[in-house]
Amino acid sequence: MNEQIPNSFWQPAMERRELWRSLLGIILIHVAFFAATFVLFIAGGLALGITPQSILGASTPAQTMVFFATFLGYHIGLWLVVRFLHKRNYRSLFGPSGQIMWRHFSYGFGAAVCLVFLGLFIEGVGLIPSGEHPQPELQQNMPISLWLTLLVPSLALIFMQIMAEELVFRGYLLQQLRARFSSIWLWAVLPSFLFGILHFDISTYGVNAYFYVLHTTIAGIILALITLRTGNIGAAAGLHMANNAGLVVIGNQGILDGLSLFLSNPVLTSTYVSASILTQTSLMVLAFLFWWFWLYPPSNTDKQLQMPSGKIT
């Protein structure tokens, strides 16, 4: 892309954009994350009277909350790295405003909720073939009174988790790479693909592991483009929050289901799940293209990638 485009979102990274510095930074951020995970798993295991390894199952509310709390390590690592390795402010990761633009967040959240309901409608009317397995059924996971008691702290922890991931991938990594490279393959596609590979679990999903990696990779690319075009982390965070917050309502049995009010029991290796993932990916891409070309038509796309105003509509 044209190097002459305004670069307010990644401007804070320009002074110390050396590749070695960025690689060292991402390593140190993950060192902090794993250190916090180790400490919280040990403390959580002692407090709950279980082995630390049991927390990975996240099958109870307490275990799931400890799991999400480990993402505090990312925030600590980010603060230390940007402060001492890059000599800039932690708030610079959010964009020129130094904070989340909540209007953008609400747009992203609303768009993701609409996509979820559209996907549920498509599944509900039978447009997704069930193949050899029936459509998953819902069962209640906990009393509504307990769920309501846990709802606010659950959402707060999920918000901390999604902000950790957004500030690492769409904040720090995107800023550092975009300040160093002009090619979308290096600042959007490659990091998103590597993040997608981290979700590869063929023992759990079978062939659907490949579709899941595809979905995660495309989502990462879209979030990177949205972040650069709006000049703020808000819209991507809103999309991410709506997606992850959904698990407090409906979760997949056996996968971070400790805070879910209802549980679904899909056969994760089935053709039904294949079709469901591909449907979600297609809806996400179509919604993005609708926003990019119609709601916010790119009369001069390169320059609009970094409009200082961060305008969405």
Beta-carbon count within 10 A of 83 CB: 12
Kindly report, residue by residue over 128-182, the tens digit of the pLDDT: 766 665 667 889 999 999 999 999 999 999 999 999 999 999 999 999 999 999 9
- Which helix H or strand E contains 308, and what residues bound it? none
Under the banding of pLDDT at 50, 70 and 90, the label for residue 29 is very high
Nearest to 238 by CA among 170, 178, 176: 170
Res. 81: pLDDT tops 90: yes
Q: Is the pLDDT of residue 228 over 80?
A: yes
pLDDT at 135: 67
298-312 pLDDT tens trace: 655 444 454 333 344
Evaluate if residue 313 carries a pLDDT over 90: no
Q: Give me the DSSP letters along 194-241.
A: HHHHTT--HHHHTTHHHHHHHHHHHHHHHHHHHHHHHTSSHHHHHHHH
User: Residue 4: what pLDDT?
Assistant: 38
Cβ atoms of residues 62 and 51 within 8 Å? no
Among 54, 57, 76, smallest CA distance to 160 is for 76
Q: Average pLDDT of 16-20?
A: 96
pLDDT given for residue 39 in this prediction: 97
How far apart CA 281 and CA 150 sit, in angstroms, is 31
Domain borders along the chain are 11-304
Report the mean per-residue pLDDT for the chain.
89
Residue 127 has pLDDT above 90, yes or no: no
Q: Say what the pLDDT of residue 125 is.
A: 73
Helices assigned H by DSSP within 49-135? 61-69, 72-80, 102-124
* E strand or H helix that includes residue 128: none
The percent of residues above 70 in pLDDT, for the chain, comes to 90
What is the per-residue pLDDT for 199?
87
Q: What is the pLDDT of residue 295?
A: 77
* Distance between CA atoms of residues 167 and 156, nearest Å: 16
Residues forming beta bridges with residue 262, ordered by sequence position: 140, 250
Q: What is the mean predicted confidence (pLDDT) over 88-92?
A: 96
pLDDT mean over 244-273: 92
